A and B are shown apart, each in its own frame.
Chain A
Amino acid sequence: MKPDPNNMTCQQFQDQLPELIGSGEDAASHPHLQTCPLCRALLSDLEIIAAAARQLFPIVEPPDDLWEHIESALKEEDGSPEPLQEGSAEIQ
């Protein structure tokens, strides 16, 4: 039996939280949060983490010699033509 949203313990609320968040509904409007600062803080932290993940992770440059390794492996696989120098294939 599903617990009454207006009369939930923290454990009951947090058990439902993955589904609540994953459903795309506004979890912040859940009745339990109107009276529970602990679970409100938890949800706020999870929102901060999700937002930070998208904003903070940079695009990283691979090592310069990685193309040489790939080219060498390609050559082994199918006898590709003469290797290109790093940067020679870049579009100007």
Chain B
Amino acid sequence: MPTSRFPTRLPGQPAPAPSGGVKPEPHVAPTVPGASPATPNAGEAEILAHAQAGDHHAFAQLYFLHKRRIYSLCLRMVGNVAEAEDLTQEAFLQLHRKIATFRGDSAFSTWLHRLAINVVLMHLRKKGLPLVSLDEAMEPASEGGPGRSFGAPDLTLSGSIDRLALERAVADLPAGYRLTFVLHDIEGYEHNEIASMLECSIGNSKSQLHKARLKLRDALRAFPRQEARQ
């Protein structure tokens, strides 16, 4: 049975290594040699146990193991460096308060990842930002709304997307579209999980993701023209 060509991966898994057709930038090497924040190992289990027992040094080690993943997640979700720093701090403060309640029902990295997402969502709710963007008119887009694609296909993406252009386009998305896009396409959550987090329907999550991708397509197709004018 044919399946979708839209890739999937489990939440908490790191992004795959870049392959052909993209312009990757090297990832920052982890501070802990050989330790991936998303990969549980015996050493981390011991550190976790000590941190749960109140060992401050062990908690600091957990921070250094997971800080990149959590900060990157916050940065993608809010699109703002200062807010991402505050939210990373809040996520680790929450972790400190709740670490004793971790029972190992899921991987620690998955649990922490979800805790951080909840911190970001709580923050956005407090700011009064809608976690689900209002539907925008689906007419041909020129004023920022995702448009239908009935025009000439003369600006189809080439398959080679500039990383900075994509990052900028994602940061410029309305909050609701950005959240759904980040949680699904970057972090690997399924629509039913996203619907639960954002308190919306599964259909709404699918619709938000689709509109996010349409807006990104518009932004990326406009990018070469903007660059050429500069």
Contact = CB atoms under 8 A, between A and B. Distances in A.
Tell me if chain B binds chain A. yes
Interface of A: 10-11, 14, 17-19, 21-29, 37-39, 41-42, 44-63, 66-67, 69-71, 73-74, 77, 80-81, 84, 87-91
Contacts of A11: 148, 150
B159 A38 contact: no
A18 B157 contact: no
B217 A46 contact: yes
Interface of B: 2-9, 14-19, 22-28, 31-32, 35, 43, 47, 56-57, 59-61, 63-65, 67-69, 71-72, 75-76, 84-85, 88-89, 92-93, 96-97, 148-151, 153, 156-157, 159, 161, 163, 166-167, 170, 181, 185-186, 188, 191, 202-203, 205-207, 209-211, 213-214, 216-217, 220
21 contacts: A18-B206, A23-B4, A24-B3, A42-B149, A46-B6, A46-B217, A51-B7, A51-B22, A52-B22, A54-B188, A55-B15, A55-B19, A56-B161, A57-B15, A62-B68, A66-B88, A67-B60, A70-B63, A84-B56, A89-B64, A90-B31
Contacts of B27: 58-59
B220 A49 contact: yes
Main SS of the interface on chain A? helix
A56 B93 contact: no
User: Which of A28, A63, A88, A91 has the most chain B CB atoms inside 10 A of its CB?
Assistant: A91
A22 B185 CA distance: 12
**Which 3 pairs across A and B sit closest by C-beta, in order of nearness?**
A89-B60, A26-B2, A22-B206
Contacts of A71: 60
Given A11-B148, A53-B186, A62-B71, A25 B167 contact: no
B15 A60 contact: no
Nearest to A28: B5
A47 B5 contact: yes
B109 to A, nearest CB: 13
User: Which of A57, A63, A89, A91 has the most chain B CB atoms inside 10 A of its CB?
Assistant: A57
B153 A50 contact: no
A12 to B, nearest CB: 11
User: Which of A54, A67, A88 has the most chain B CB atoms inside 10 A of its CB?
Assistant: A54
Contacts of B205: 22
Contact of B148 (A14, A25, A59, A89): A14
Given A50-B6, A67-B63, 13 more contacts: A10-B150, A25-B2, A27-B4, A27-B5, A38-B150, A41-B156, A48-B157, A49-B216, A50-B185, A50-B213, A53-B181, A54-B188, A56-B24
A77 B56 CA distance: 13
Contacts of B6: 21, 24, 46-47, 50-51
